[in-house]
Structure 1
Amino acid sequence: MESLKLTTAALSTIVAAVTLAQPKDSTHEEVDIPQEAVVRLLPTQDSRVHGLLVLRQQDDGVQVVGRVIGLEPGDHGFHIHEFGDLRDPQGKSAGGHFNPDGKKHGGPDADEHHAGDLGNITAGSDGTASVDKLAKDLKLHFVIGRSVVVHGNADDFESQPSGDAGPRVSVGVIGFAEVKDPQTGGIE
């Protein structure tokens, strides 16, 4: 019995010594919430659409700026999707629109819409769309690791569950990166 007490006391002393020897910074520190992310849009199978986007946290939502190249002229559905999974060559593994609140699909200014409903982007006659959108009330840290999808057709903002925007022509994962130019995000 005496040896059990000595063993317990010795182990307690060792645990206390190891605990005290740990640097104060070894616990989980507060991590800065990301203020900026990037998306490199890649073409899906049989597409040539690509681009670069920068997402920045603002007081009233997430600002999405950038350029998409290789589109047919006109409007194209533009959404944040639930997964950052690019395994499917047609972009289907990105899942549906990011919709954590279980709302119906709609335009970005509608009373009810998915958090990932960003509306349409418009390509000019050269097939290029300049993007400058505000995803109101969205927080950047909720979409890191998810994806942005560009569709082949316009989002009609009514058809459920996704606006009948046609095939996915480009997809990219929202991720952290060092942005070289704070004004343009490296978008030339």
Structure 2
Amino acid sequence: MLTSKLEVLVDFGPKPEQKILDKTINDLKSQDGVKEVIFKDGALMIETTLPSADVLDIVTKTSGKRAVLQGFGDSQSAVAMLSSQSCCSGRVLGVVRFQHTAEGLVCDGAVDGLAEGEHGLHVRHSGDLTEGCQSLGEHFNPHGSPHGAPDDPPSLRHAGDLGNIVADENGRATFRIQDNVLKIWDLIGRSVAVTERRDDLGRGVSPTSKIDGDSGRPVACGIIARSAGIFQNPKRICACDGVVVWDERDRPLAGKGRRKCCEKHDEKRENGTGDAEKPCCKV
């Protein structure tokens, strides 16, 4: 099984307590699927076959500290931030990461807000979000093949066919998929989408089985962009709005509540009592 290298930043403070650090490292090393753990530059480098979301949960529970994924893979990595794009009655959010290796591609992610059960996961032809998830085009299919399963040969599957992910009773799906057809350089600028229903992998009797696995409309999608590998992203604060990396984990992606340090200043500025030119956040 292909391994991934994760850079997990942990809120140990300026001087980590050695007892907690050792406990966290030892607990990680005891997990099936964890190959190596190293502490470097305030972060844990973890080589693993586990989904990154599961690794973050282990680190958080063992250390009692906040943890965020700062880097994924050695190089040639990509990421997509998924959202429902106002397409549905519910709110679906998630992150999907891709890593290129000499042995194949790793697709790793977590999606929240789904209905319990299986949902199709597909790379789509374009990154056009002008009409939300409905304008992404067909499945990425450079070989002109029928829809199929991830383990089918390229002549019997779309390159973008990644099978199904499974949401638990809380609506959360964590997954790690290996693929030998997709290439990281083919993904940048395209999109990835999660569908409302299970993908029948082209084995069904529906007229759309060989088109999209009868998996229904996308309920969340996002554009695939390049991302940082391990120890390639030194950023600890968002220069755009002053949100530090620890607060980023607990803030909405946009809108009210995103910039708490700015709200009072913004309110004064709107009332004509504040300095419009004064930056509202320290960066």
Corresponding position of 1:37: 78
Distance between the aligned counterparts of 1:120 and 1:127, measured in 2?
14
1:79-107 deviation per Cα after TM superposition (whole angstroms, max 9, x unaligned): 00000111113x12110100001011001
Q: Residue 187 of structure 2 is aligned with which of 135, 140, 143?
A: 143
Corresponding position of 1:175: 225
Equivalent pair of 2:199/2:213 in contact (CA under 8 Å):
yes
Note the 1:1-188 alignment, pairs <5 A.
35-44=76-85, 45-46=87-88, 47-89=90-132, 91-111=133-153, 112-158=156-202, 159-178=209-228
Deviation at 1:60, TM superposition (A): 2.7
Q: TM-score, normalised by structure 2?
A: 0.50
> Which 4+ runs in 1 deviate beyond 6 A?
none
Distance between the aligned counterparts of 1:84 and 1:145, measured in 2?
6
Letter of the aligned partner of 2:76 in structure 1? Q
Runs of 5+ unmatched residues, structure 1 = 1-33
Report how many residues are paired: 150
Runs of 5+ unmatched residues, structure 2 = 1-74, 203-208, 233-244, 250-283
Equivalent pair of 2:76/2:229 in contact (CA under 8 Å):
no
Equivalent pair of 1:36/1:54 in contact (CA under 8 Å):
yes
Letter of the aligned partner of 2:138 in structure 1? G
Equivalent pair of 1:63/1:133 in contact (CA under 8 Å):
yes
User: Of the two structures, which has the highest relative contact order with CA contacts closer than 8 Å and spacing of 6 or more?
Assistant: 1
1:138 alignment partner, SS class: coil
2:135 alignment partner, SS class: helix
1:93 alignment partner, SS class: coil
Query: Percent identity over the alignment?
Result: 39
Work out which of the two has the higher radius of gyration on C-alpha atoms and give 1 or 2. 1
Deviation at 1:180, TM superposition (A): 6.4
Q: TM-score, normalised by structure 1?
A: 0.74
Distance between the aligned counterparts of 1:66 and 1:138, measured in 2?
16
Distance between the aligned counterparts of 1:35 and 1:57, measured in 2?
6
Distance between the aligned counterparts of 1:58 and 1:178, measured in 2?
15
RMSD: 1.9
Equivalent pair of 1:60/1:137 in contact (CA under 8 Å):
no
1:39-67 deviation per Cα after TM superposition (whole angstroms, max 9, x unaligned): 10011312411101111001232211110
Distance between the aligned counterparts of 1:52 and 1:138, measured in 2?
18
